[in-house]
Amino acid sequence: MNENTMFSPSDRAKRKGRHAVLMRRLMAALDKYRTLERESQKRYRTRMEKHIRLVRPDATDEEIAEAASNEATRSVFAMDVMTSYRSKVAKRMLRDVENRDKDIRDIGKTIEVSNK
């Protein structure tokens, strides 16, 4: 059975109308998706440029543009950012441990002095 024998002319017209409406909706949704995707990529690129500037403040604009556009370079800079962050966290933790150690030693000295 082909399309002509299955539906009456009015049914075919209704189907064509529905099809046209659905196609317009689909095209509108695709356009919206593409716009959102471009905006998302732009935001990601801007964020990567900021991260790169944090990791390498002395980088030139050309180096930043290359790093932000190159996938392999982006991952290297992302690792540098994480390494830098981890380093800061580790230093802060070491400082906290050293402060606690100092406090414990001070408490120990106070106890020794009070026992004499």
Lowest mean pLDDT among 8-12, 27-31, 77-81: 77-81
Q: What is the mean pLDDT of the chain?
A: 83
Res. 28 pLDDT band, cuts 50 70 90: very high
Selection from 68, 61, 67 nearest residue 42 by Cα? 68
Q: Does the pLDDT value for residue 23 go beyond 90? A: yes
Q: What is the DSSP string of 47-90?
A: HHHHHHHHH-TT--HHHHHHHHH-HHHHHHHHHHHHHHHHHHHH
pTM: 0.48
